[in-house]
Amino acid sequence: MPFVRKITSSLRAKLLTMFVILTSIPLIAVGLVSYQKSFNTVSGHSKAATMLVADRLALDIDVLFQDTSRLLELEKNPQVLRFLFSQSETYEDAKFILKTFDLYRQTYKYESVLNMTMINLYGRGISERKGVFQLDYNPLRNSHFAHLMTEPNDVLNIPPTKSSDRDRLDGFRYPDRNVITIMATVKQQITHEVVGFIVIDLDDSVVERFSDNVKIGKTGLFYVADDRGIPIFTPSALAKSGDPFQPVNLSKHTGNQRDSFVDSSSDPSKFVVFATSQATGWKIVGSAPLEEIVEDANRIRTLIIVSVALSILFTITLYFFITSRLTRPIQLLKSKMRQAASGYLDAKVKPTGHDEIADLGTSFNTMIEKIKMLLEQSIREQEHIQKAELRTLQAQINPHFLYNTLDSIVWMAEAGKNEQVIQLVQALSRFFRISLNKGRDWISIKIELDHVQSYLIIQKMRYRDILDYEVDVSPELQMYPILKMTLQPLVENALYHGIKNQRGKGLIRIGGYVDLQDIVLFVEDNGIGMTKDRLEAVREQLEQPRDSQPDDSGDTGIEDGKNGGFGLQNVHQRLKLYFGERYGLQIESEERKGTCIYVRIPKK
């Protein structure tokens, strides 16, 4: 053939032919491998991103129900228990419960909660909208109440049903909306016997917005189904358009909490993801045509084919140019990625040109900036969490001390001891003025000592026969700051667990000194002290996290819930939370000789 004869007759043509063949084969092979890798990576990322969206929607629903479940704490309220347990009118309890409902609304901003209802086993109840009411039928005829009687520890999350079934127990109707209902039991605190039920109505539009506002691809959608896969919430756009809605068959995947798969039974094939809400058991299901999920991968395939063709066409004349244009930016990007992987987040690429490598460099810079922003946001959130925990610990003021002090004031006033009454009221005023401190967490050691002295003045007037105290802290130390309410709980612990339980008059001594770069304050008493086993148990319990503490700590002094104050464990955890692990409390004690508690804080 003339074409073959022409190629074989020229050395230049042979070299050119061999060069094109040797160049094109690797390019084609690389293009095929790159396509496969890119297809798997991009489609995998798209599927993972869709799964993350489903997980986020499930988490949003969990947060909604967990936030609303705070209202179930009302079952521990004594007035609620008395109202549900009593058969007679208790106007004051009903009034208090309604005020408690309003307090919860103002505190937690429950915009989605439509109504809260309490009802006992005899049909007597109270709700926000109607107040006190009496059912004319046995409430246990309600299937949900009957279930809760057999399973009193369950919390039922009941999805919306037909509007005709939404008549509330108190007679209130919601004609223009559906509601989600949360039901739980109210149990007697000691016997755990069921005495009534809590019913909370939520506006279902909160959950509907989840499925309305989030899409997959161009035409994909999310909807919410129950644990059997039956749809509960579907996008409202479908109802407006009149398009038929075909739910996904999840029968083969009901045992999984989250999963993704391709549904080949539909035409066209659909990519399906679902995640399960831990609070409700509902499934957040998303489906979209598979072509939309792999659309980017198909674009990459086309791009690779075109790139390979162009590379073969221009490989001879532009070989060195293309090499310099491609290799150097990739090596630079690789170097910057290694720096970022080692933790140096200030590594930046200076993109040159407007090709794919430049876009990749710009995307890399954007990614690094977002990572830095997320890290800073995480640090800020952790700081807010720590401050919130600190405020929570400081808010645990027991009213028993105030009650007992007011009783003492009344007793002295009746006995005509006017001077003692004035002194006691002044000490009480100073005590609570420092306790409040305009919401600030920090005060000087001097003000903290004034706070402790006010407390001791009050207690000395109550226990004048058994209590004496000394405060000896140098003025140089009193200028340094300290967390509010650090020493007073230790003094209270010394009084109630040391001196009060011994015979004769006791002494509480407060002092302080400097240890290198730290300040050490101590509260010492000559009370009954502790045995070695008891001291070791107290030290171990002091280091336990608050969540692992039992509700009734007995008389260890770690959580003095019976005698008031924050308790040693609260003070210890606050100091560690704010200053670090090496700071906090240290306890020394000897039986029948007394106890000394040391407070170590940084000198700054």
Tokens of 349: 């690429």
Closest to 485 in 3D by CA, of 402, 571, 392, 568:
571
Write down the H helix ranges in 342-444.
Answer: 356-394, 400-414, 418-436
Q: CA 196 to CA 153: how far, in whole Å?
A: 13
State the CB neighbour count (10 A cutoff) for residue 525.
Answer: 27
- Segment (H or E) for 198: strand 194-203
Residue 327: burial class (beta carbons within 10 Å; 0-12, 13-18, 19+): exposed
| pLDDT average, residue stretch 369-376 | 86
Tokens 């645990």 sit at which residue? Answer: 396
Which position has the higher pLDDT, 98 or 111? Answer: 98
In the chain, where the domains are located: 70-294, 318-395, 398-602
Yes or no: say if 557 and 568 are a contact pair by the CB < 8 Å rule. yes
Question: What does the pLDDT look like over 56-70, one tens digit per residue?
Answer: 777 877 777 777 777
Question: What does the pLDDT look like over 239-283, one tens digit per residue?
Answer: 555 566 677 777 777 777 788 888 777 777 888 888 888 877 888
Start-to-end CA distance of the chain, whole Å, equals 95
Contacts of 9 (CB under 8 A, 6+ apart): none
Question: What does the pLDDT look like over 580-599, one tens digit per residue?
Answer: 888 999 999 998 889 999 99
DSSP code of 486?
A: S
Handedness of CA 476, 481, 487, 488 (dihedral sign): positive
Q: Span 398-602: which CATH code? A: 3.30.565.10
Question: What does the pLDDT look like over 21-80, one tens digit per residue?
Answer: 777 777 777 777 777 777 677 667 777 777 787 787 778 777 777 777 777 777 777 777
State the CB neighbour count (10 A cutoff) for residue 170.
Answer: 21
**Interaxial angle between packed helices 445-462 and 400-414, expressed in degrees from 0 to 180 and rounded to the nearest 10:** 50
pLDDT of residue 8: 54
Predicted TM-score (pTM) of this structure: 0.40
- Whether residue 95 is predicted with pLDDT greater than 60 in this model: the reply is yes
| pLDDT average, residue stretch 302-307 | 77
Confidence of residue 409 (pLDDT cuts 50, 70, 90): confident
Q: Span 70-294: which CATH code? A: 3.30.450.20
Closest to 196 in 3D by CA, of 49, 312, 83:
83
Closest to 139 in 3D by CA, of 112, 160, 118:
118
Q: CA 498 to CA 525: how far, in whole Å?
A: 7
- Whether residue 228 is predicted with pLDDT greater than 90 in this model: the reply is no
